[in-house]
Structure 1
């Protein structure tokens, strides 16, 4: 597990190479505000090799955050992250590792008949109750999450995972009502609280796509205040003094800014709703910006509005887009795909520039 002494030692290794607030507090220590994502790419050996090389390059150059999931690239992403952690010169206690569970993972490749695969591997074995499934591929029942956490620990070849996310819980809203999904999350959180007490995870959170940034009346909407209440109740049931809900992952970039602009989460029931990022800021939660480069759409010339780009530091559109995401309140890190070494080097270099200050960031939206 990442430790305070380990992550601070990692930070000190780089001296003043990086810009202001490049390393930020998370968990017991600090983490780089650029993180290595492992979502994109085909499930092939060639892509594995590129990821492994890029991950090692990033870990050794100043990025100590790696984000993955049990289903990414048919399970290959977790395995490659584990290999990179083992082959890198960076000790495990210096690296924050995040993974996720929710989508039923394949095993190395996409099967010819995914439905049959799900039946044989998950339903017929009793690992998943058909009543807990959404869209034939998503489950957040405690028994499933526990099994996926064990699978993640094995694939990553680690004793613990620093942040374990319940992945896209809004998927369950396609088959059940909102209150039932909150109940599901409460049960999931209790399972993760018990694993946290056992030392298998450092903390947990929700990784979402739509849930926290769409309007309140949207079919995929979930409320952060209600989620946090369920986490507090789960910790209570697990006999713990405080909950381990630490983080929210959601899309945020210069063209998908609704996590900052849409005010619909009420932290105290008195002052009125605030944005997802403002809620996280007030409640001491870390926000991790997914799709900070718009999955590649923000890397070309002219992809960022001129009025915004002029305010941002960086030598390329990709660096400026990363620095926009890193500038938002509560954002601990912006995640960037790392399937190629050259992309990692560019992301590392983005961290040598300062992000926008709070006033300058707010001025972008005036």
Structure 2
């Protein structure tokens, strides 16, 4: 989301391309080969600048996985922002993404957010067309609950393989939704109970956006949780960024973090999360959770 310049309709610049190339090179050096996009990021410029990198880098497309999302319409003048998962819109948005990304196929297409007015039969027909054409290999969703996934899957010919949700040490409601049952505070979390369990049961990969918590526990942050993250990183010979990703990966759901930063140094700081198994004991995992929530467990 950070590639392509500003959140405006001005064309990306040579400096924006250099910034994107540095981020991609750092990701590849760290062992990261899956890249997550959305058609709305920087009004399409994130996909455009990435497509330029693919066009300039011979053989790169064959070595990576490209994932993108559709379904959000941004506000524009008097037009309010909305969600649109109508069949025709999905087909049009995918075609536009393919053009911007300068590729013939999207490896994974996610529906960005639930659309209350969507007809699942239309979504199913759009998926059927895209899969039959060979322009999309696999499909998934983002920000959807177990009930929404199950409802949609009943109408589809292809399996949903991903659910991407905001999950991090800062946004730990995904853990608490399964723990704070029968607790008054449990209803305040907002994370749909049973969603992670549903995904694991049905072989749906759980992806965590916002995995680095926007620097809340790194980049000089000073809080009990940030100090614990730093201390654990020093003890284990790694980086605070890796500790944050390990906290997600340590969960039995095998959560796949989505690293949103485009700063090469921070991307490279995530290298151990690719190459080392999560090195957190049960006690350390719980210590991080309790420090982040700022209160003892019930």
Counterpart pick for 2:253 among 300, 325, 330: 330
Cα distance in 2, alignment partners of residues 262 and 232 from structure 1:
25
* Contact 2:36-2:67 at 8 Å conserved across structures: yes
Counterpart pick for 2:95 among 137, 144, 150: 150
Counterpart pick for 1:94 among 63, 70, 75: 63
Cα distance change of structure 1 residues 343 and 226 upon mapping to structure 2, 3 Å threshold = closer
What does residue range 108-147 of structure 1 map to in structure 2 within 5 Å?
114-115=76-77, 135-147=80-92
Q: Which runs of 5+ in 1 are unaligned?
A: 1-36, 106-112, 119-134, 173-179, 212-222, 236-242, 265-272
Cα distance change of structure 1 residues 77 and 40 upon mapping to structure 2, 3 Å threshold = closer
* Contact 1:259-1:275 at 8 Å conserved across structures: no
* Other structure's SS at 1:351 match: helix
Higher deviation after alignment, 66-75 or 289-298 = 289-298
TM-score of the superposed pair, with normalisation by structure 1: 0.63
- Tell me how far 1:226 sits from its aligned partner: 4.1
Counterpart pick for 1:203 among 111, 118, 138: 138
* Contact 2:4-2:20 at 8 Å conserved across structures: no
* 1:299 aligned residue: 218
* 1:83 aligned residue: 52
Cα distance change of structure 1 residues 310 and 57 upon mapping to structure 2, 3 Å threshold = closer
* 2:240 aligned residue: 317
- Tell me how far 1:298 sits from its aligned partner: 2.7
Cα distance in 2, alignment partners of residues 152 and 65 from structure 1:
16
* 2:171 aligned residue: 256
Cα distance in 2, alignment partners of residues 189 and 53 from structure 1:
38
- Tell me how far 1:336 sits from its aligned partner: 1.3
Cα distance in 1, alignment partners of residues 205 and 172 from structure 2:
17
* Contact 1:39-1:337 at 8 Å conserved across structures: no
* 1:269 aligned residue: none
Cα distance in 2, alignment partners of residues 344 and 156 from structure 1:
22
Cα distance in 1, alignment partners of residues 176 and 128 from structure 2:
32
* Other structure's SS at 2:111 match: strand
* 1:280 aligned residue: 199
**Greater RCO structure (CA 8 Å; 6+ sep):** 1
Cα distance change of structure 1 residues 362 and 316 upon mapping to structure 2, 3 Å threshold = closer
* Contact 1:38-1:339 at 8 Å conserved across structures: yes
* Contact 1:247-1:287 at 8 Å conserved across structures: yes
- Tell me how far 1:61 sits from its aligned partner: 4.1
Matched, 1:224 2:146: yes
- Tell me how far 1:164 sits from its aligned partner: 0.7
Cα distance in 2, alignment partners of residues 324 and 41 from structure 1:
31
Cα distance in 2, alignment partners of residues 315 and 345 from structure 1:
11
Cα distance in 2, alignment partners of residues 88 and 334 from structure 1:
26
How many residues were matched structurally?
Answer: 268
TM-score of the superposed pair, with normalisation by structure 2: 0.76
* Other structure's SS at 2:83 match: coil
